[in-house]
Amino acid sequence: MILLISTCKEKFHELEFVKPIEKILSENKISFFTKHHKEITKSDLNKTKKIILSGTSLKDNHFLKDLKNFEWIKETNKPLLGICAGMQIIGLLFNGKLRNKKEIGFYKEDFKKEFLGLKGEQEVYHLHHNYTILPKDFIKFTKSKIPQAIKHKEKKIYGVLFHPEVRNKELILNFVK
């Protein structure tokens, strides 16, 4: 069972950032349930095998005020994938610093080593105002200066600043399988 966590303040934004991930999981007959980050319980975390933190809209930085709701991430041993806002949350929890850089549109990213099925030059979709510098316990997988794909050195915690639900759906499938 996959737990998909919405980081969206507005329910309406879930149509763009959560529903596409739900569609990928549904079409591939992957069992999942979705909850808002403020509604997560220990029971939810216990009954899931893997966790995905969604992204959210450009002007929605509300999740930054709710970092206490994500403290459990530091203790979890479950595989976790953070997408955009989700990656920013992971970075901040592991002492990364938030920086501003607006990137919107399709970009080429060069994966210096394989990352959840992506390798070499890939076209990805960026939609963000912020990023975190690479936390010390993480490895960067892309050649770009801004960390676009990261993994914790010891845990199965992954983060991508781009939106794989738009252009790189296989990344999500590789994570959940």
- 68-to-30, 45, 63, 73, 89 alpha-carbon distances in Å: 29, 16, 10, 10, 10
pLDDT tens, position by position, 72-102: 999 999 999 999 999 999 999 999 998 988 8
Confidence bin at 152 (pLDDT 50/70/90): very high
Q: Are 101 and 84 in contact (CB under 8 A)?
A: no
Position 12 scores a pLDDT of 76
Alpha carbons 28 and 61: distance in angstroms, whole number: 31
Alpha carbons 122 and 152: distance in angstroms, whole number: 22
Task: Tell me which residue has tokens 């953070």.
Answer: 82
Domains in the chain, ordered, with CATH?
Answer: 2-176 (3.40.50.880)
Closest CA to 159 of 123, 177, 121, 133: 133
Closest CA to 59 of 6, 19, 20, 102: 102
Residue 86 phi, psi dihedral angles, 5° rounding? -60, -40
pLDDT tens, position by position, 94-130: 999 989 888 889 999 999 999 999 999 999 999 888 8
- Which comes out higher in pLDDT, residue 58 or 120? 120
Q: Are 85 and 55 in contact (CB under 8 A)?
A: yes
Tokens linked to 124: 């990805």
Q: Are strands 138-140 and 80-83 parallel, antiparallel or unpaired?
A: unpaired
Alpha carbons 9 and 117: distance in angstroms, whole number: 31
Alpha carbons 50 and 92: distance in angstroms, whole number: 20
Tokens linked to 150: 């990261």
- The percentage of residues in the chain with a pLDDT greater than 90, rounded to a whole number, is 76
Q: Are strands 157-160 and 149-152 parallel, antiparallel or unpaired?
A: antiparallel
- Please, what is the average pLDDT of the chain? 93
Residues labelled as active-site residues: 84, 163, 165
Q: What is the mean pLDDT of residues 42-65?
A: 87
pTM confidence score:
0.94
Confidence bin at 58 (pLDDT 50/70/90): low
30 pLDDT exceeds 90? Answer: yes
